[in-house]
Amino acid sequence: MVYIDDNIWDFSLDDALAAVSEQRREQALRYHHELGRRQCLRAYLLLIEALQKEYGIGGCPLFDYSEHGKPLLRDHPGIHFSLSHCREAVACVVGDRPVGIDIESVGRYRESLARYAMSDSELSAIAAAGSSDGLSAPAVAAAGRDLAFTRLWTMKEAFLKCSGRGLGDGLKSVLDGVDESLFTTVVDPRRRFVCTVFPAVGED
């Protein structure tokens, strides 16, 4: 199941620090800014909620890490999860098979980044999403391009996180041959963020 929470600022930071595992507390305190600490803690609290609701597991989970840095549940190796956060929200997915999730703020399109990360066909799809039909205002066309780019980026990250691989030089070809129907994408109604899960699972 997928859990998304955009209430990053609506909880007590001190209470959250006291409620999580020492492992997660130390990780959160490595962030120098409050936003980073809140994102780290809220994503973890969302995982606690998901494990309780979906599996009846209480307490604060501890993590081990794969050779590529993918977090694993130390005491429940048969349960898979993935966490992600952006400026506006945090996201968590849990399941009985490997899963990956990515949530990103919808930002302004940057051609240099797009050419680095996207294949020719993906660049064409982004361009089509941002093309003007003569009726739309330029700002509307730009918003379509921004959203299309962000969606593809989250698909790539979710796929890589599911596989346990990190972002690397092969970004352009990451989705080659991957069935797009295996992804679930949620767009915030106000278009502040995009969240994608691979493989597709339910949403809470």
Give the domains, in start order, of the chain with CATH numbers.
2-82 (3.90.470.20), 104-198 (3.90.470)
- As separate numbers, helices (DSSP H) first and strands (DSSP E) second, the chain gives 6, 8
| pLDDT values of the chain reduced to their tens digit, one per residue, 204 residues | 999 999 999 999 999 999 999 999 999 999 999 999 999 999 999 999 999 999 999 999 999 998 888 999 999 999 999 999 999 999 999 999 999 999 999 988 999 999 999 999 999 999 999 875 544 556 777 899 999 999 999 999 999 999 987 666 589 999 999 999 999 999 999 999 999 999 977 655
Question: Across 23-155, where does the E strand assignment appear?
Answer: 63-65, 71-73, 80-85, 90-95, 100-105
What angle do helix axes 138-163 and 120-129 make, rounded to 10 degrees?
140
Q: Is the pTM of this model over 0.85?
A: yes
